[in-house]
Structure 1
């Protein structure tokens, strides 16, 4: 009785204790933040702009969209591919389950959230999806035969939809679990080293996404593979696409890993990697305005999508192919970059392109110069694409193209450059006009000489 009275007295004297106790319990239930996380929920500021760009339409991969309405039809196909995997490899289902179970903690740490699934549910999801992807990659690359009644490869449209869905940030599977399943196979993969296996899986994945990597359709896949084999391991398919766009060595430092900096070989240091400034970026005039000021535009190097250069009045921009899925690719790359990496290569690229393209006339100029391959068809739609992609992104003071913008603005401000451009565009733009101007100048000079001679003779 006396103890109860003392406790009541303490509560009366300190009314904050119940709230403190409750909050301590709440904080104690927080799950630790994993440094291995690489598959995130898309930030709401992105999702509000275009919900469909981040939502799978045909297949769910991993736990984040598992069981969603509208994706049920593909679940049966995924299980059939798991069955084919087991029959082809002669690996027991028990061994597969054991392999996934051994990796469960690491797998869960890769996702922003998995708390809604029990251990058995989670292992089932990962195993079905991983086996499905392994079979899909092998069939696509001709490594295993395609059955006559295959419901996926007999319908090309489904393959295209799958490739699109498998680029989504929330629809990823860690690539190491695919390598683990390849380890279980016999006779169909290289086995001399982990690096060789990783390269094998990366090669299969690159070939699968080549037709969809429309941002740099003309890029050399062999050079991409050679470079990727010398970098840190790729996290998942979306990370693979991002790294393939950064074909020259640029910094790819995950958030929270500031001490882990990838060294940049001197031969690969480009304008993109070395221009860093604390100056707030000022956008450039549009390409049409720059062209009217004398700037010429040419297709730049295909080794790096972000390697935009300006030298001696010539602006070189790597070629980009824009089709119906380009917006989905760029939006998910943007979201992944903002969530996972310290750098802002995609963000800064979209910022500079937004500055270059203001309307359909700008699109026409870049298409005419071969810098944009417009598969969309509608010029206004393409212009709107570049202008709207920047909505919701967060850039910082280390703008990759700050020096480029300063050089372009300085060139644009020169009256001499504008005057020379006006002469070149209006009077010397065709051989006939050039000859006409030369003839007019010669006639003027002859007239002047004749006038001077007449004055002298009269005098």
Structure 2
């Protein structure tokens, strides 16, 4: 009986040690892979339109899902790129045959049935599209479809490895121009500079949340780097970690207050002069927010960046997700969007302010661990409220009175009439109490 117990214990201990080893290896900082959208996001009906390719499918997860016309566009654009760059097909196949195992390891999938032709078509198609990003006539496509194709390039599990783009475009300047075009299509004017091409055996330094000395993982990762170009430590240098209250480990939203509530409390909202930054700041009763252009692709960008930050192998600080949670707290009604638009913080290219408010209201479902930067801003706003409580109440009363009695000429006339009636009634009462001597 004792021997049996020892055998069972040895078996259990072996299994536990194996699990510990797998967990340790799985938590090593490594390059994130191209993987599927997290199920809890992809399965939400209101999010599905942002996670499904509309025209062209790339990579391994959506392969062969596009319409016949989508496949035709891909093959035609690939042929155009090979023709005007004078790429040699034999050399391409030889290079891809050597690098195919490395390329395929960049996908989070167990399948090993990869066709080199698919890699060539996908990579050349993307490069041709980026090189002629706004020339629909040369690409032989209508403008409305071209817009949808650019949205397809934003989808997390519809990416091609950046290593493949490097392989198919050895000209560093040409590749950098393609990436600049990609960002400009989505309203981002400043592009991170690509690091030099590394040699075959050169070790790549991998850090948490990326590094300026490493290539992006894919186009979506490059777009994220562009949005976060400003050094995060610059934004956090004034934050004393000892002053920040230790937050809950629960996933949460940041309840700060809408723009109208902040304005009623005497807080000014202005545009941050650092237009490349996604980081807000608060000081001396002034909340500075980055400029944000909202158009037809904004939802695709944000929802896919959130999905990317939620991937288990991507070690990051949830910068984009935290920013969106922050903004969704500030924006509740179209009137909040109007205030931000008047302050030139939001550039609205949608039909109306309600569409922008609806977009941020959808983001109410995003829950992330509270980050030090946003906890600091929340605490600073709370301190401002406490220190200015009396003045804030007076300003709120005056603003409410102004909105009630001076919002139109008729309310002003009514107030003056009521004041005159009160004055005359007071005079009449005085003379009734003190009659004039005869």
TM-score range, shorter chain: 0.7 to 0.9
Structure 1 residue aligned with 2:376: 403
Structure 2 residue aligned with 1:296: 268
For 1:402-421, list aligned pairs within 5 A: 402-413=375-386, 414-420=389-395
Structure 1 residue 47 corresponds to structure 2 residue 42:
yes
1:42 shift after superposition: 0.7
Aligned partner of residue 270 in structure 2, secondary structure: strand
State whether residues 167 and 238 of structure 1, in contact with CA within 8 Å, keep that contact through their aligned partners in structure 2.
yes
Q: In structure 1, what is the Cα distance between the partners aligned to 2:289 and 2:223?
A: 19
Identify which of 279, 291, 303 aligns with 1:307: 279
Deviation string 1:331-355 (CA, Å, 9 cap, x unpaired) is: 0001111212321101110111121
Q: In structure 1, what is the Cα distance between the partners aligned to 2:392 and 2:268?
A: 12
Structure 2 residue aligned with 1:375: 349
Structure 1 residue aligned with 2:435: none
Structure 2 residue aligned with 1:247: 229
Structure 1 residue aligned with 2:208: none
Q: In structure 1, what is the Cα distance between the partners aligned to 2:92 and 2:221?
A: 26
Structure 2 residue aligned with 1:270: 235
Deviation string 1:48-90 (CA, Å, 9 cap, x unpaired) is: 231121111110111110011x433221222223333333344
Deviation string 1:401-426 (CA, Å, 9 cap, x unpaired) is: 11111111232341223314544786
Q: In structure 2, what is the Cα distance between the partners aligned to 1:53 and 1:208?
A: 18
Structure 2 residue aligned with 1:446: none
Would the alpha carbon gap of residues 79 and 220 (structure 1) be closer, same or farther in structure 2, given more than 3 Å must change? closer
State whether residues 259 and 336 of structure 2, in contact with CA within 8 Å, keep that contact through their aligned partners in structure 1.
yes
For 1:143-162, list aligned pairs within 5 A: 150=138, 152-162=139-149
State whether residues 347 and 390 of structure 1, in contact with CA within 8 Å, keep that contact through their aligned partners in structure 2.
no
For 1:227-242, list aligned pairs within 5 A: 230-242=212-224
Identify which of 67, 75, 78 aligns with 2:74: 78
State whether residues 46 and 392 of structure 1, in contact with CA within 8 Å, keep that contact through their aligned partners in structure 2.
no
Q: In structure 2, what is the Cα distance between the partners aligned to 1:348 and 1:371?
A: 18
Would the alpha carbon gap of residues 41 and 241 (structure 1) be closer, same or farther in structure 2, given more than 3 Å must change? same
Aligned partner of residue 179 in structure 1, secondary structure: helix
Structure 1 residue 59 corresponds to structure 2 residue 24:
no
Q: In structure 2, what is the Cα distance between the partners aligned to 1:226 and 1:158?
A: 30
Structure 1 residue aligned with 2:168: 181
How many residues of Structure 1 are paired with residues of Structure 2 in the alignment?
A: 376
Question: So what's the TM-score if we normalise by structure 2?
Answer: 0.74
Would the alpha carbon gap of residues 272 and 227 (structure 1) be closer, same or farther in structure 2, given more than 3 Å must change? farther
1:158 shift after superposition: 2.2
1:398 shift after superposition: 3.0
For 1:384-403, list aligned pairs within 5 A: 384-393=358-367, 395-403=368-376
State whether residues 271 and 308 of structure 1, in contact with CA within 8 Å, keep that contact through their aligned partners in structure 2.
no
Structure 2 residue aligned with 1:279: 246
Q: In structure 2, what is the Cα distance between the partners aligned to 1:72 and 1:154?
A: 14
Q: In structure 2, what is the Cα distance between the partners aligned to 1:401 and 1:13?
A: 53
Q: In structure 1, what is the Cα distance between the partners aligned to 2:168 and 2:274?
A: 34
1:280 shift after superposition: 2.5
State whether residues 319 and 370 of structure 1, in contact with CA within 8 Å, keep that contact through their aligned partners in structure 2.
yes
Would the alpha carbon gap of residues 420 and 88 (structure 1) be closer, same or farther in structure 2, given more than 3 Å must change? closer
Identify which of 125, 131, 139 aligns with 2:132: 139
Identify which of 126, 143, 158 aligns with 1:171: 158
1:91 shift after superposition: 3.1
Q: In structure 1, what is the Cα distance between the partners aligned to 2:402 and 2:236?
A: 35
Q: In structure 2, what is the Cα distance between the partners aligned to 1:399 and 1:332?
A: 23
Aligned partner of residue 324 in structure 2, secondary structure: helix
Q: In structure 2, what is the Cα distance between the partners aligned to 1:182 and 1:415?
A: 64
Aligned partner of residue 315 in structure 1, secondary structure: strand
CA RMSD for the aligned pairs?
A: 3.9
Q: In structure 1, what is the Cα distance between the partners aligned to 2:360 and 2:261?
A: 17
